[in-house]
Amino acid sequence: AAAAAAATATRDFQVDTRPPFPAPNDTYADYPQLARYVNQAYACAHGYTLLYMQLLERGCHHEFSGWRHPSYCKLPAIAAALSLGYERVVFVDSDAWFRPHAPSLPALERAF
């Protein structure tokens, strides 16, 4: 049943080297953290799953090319999310957001 649910679901995700939440003693959140909060509200409003992947290194390792810049790491992240059985995976850059009351992703696809 879980696999069937995952096959029809949409997963939004963000990838960044910074943590998704402010530290306990921080007095403010930076823009990727604020974007994560807003994107979480959008995902909840539309029944999507939001996944925030934090890179623990300053890049990722490619089997043949060695260490790659963090911007390359979104490709393996998309592949990993698709391998979980999601029908649709949407990469959202860490400085971008959807307004919580924006149309659903299928509606946006049809509009553009």
What's 84's DSSP letter?
Answer: T
Residue 46 contacts residue 107 (beta carbons within 8 Å): no
pLDDT in tens, 43-93: 889 888 888 777 777 788 888 888 888 788 888 888 888 888 887 888 888
Residue 107 predicted with pLDDT over 50: yes
User: For residue 57, what pLDDT is reported?
Assistant: 77
User: For residue 13, what pLDDT is reported?
Assistant: 64
User: For residue 65, what pLDDT is reported?
Assistant: 83
* Domain ranges within the chain, ordered by starting residue: 2-111
What's 19's DSSP letter?
Answer: -
User: For residue 10, what pLDDT is reported?
Assistant: 59
Tell me which residue has tokens 């959807």.
98
Strands 10-16 and 88-91: parallel
Quick one: average pLDDT of 91-105? Answer: 85
pLDDT in tens, 7-36: 445 556 666 767 777 777 878 778 888 888
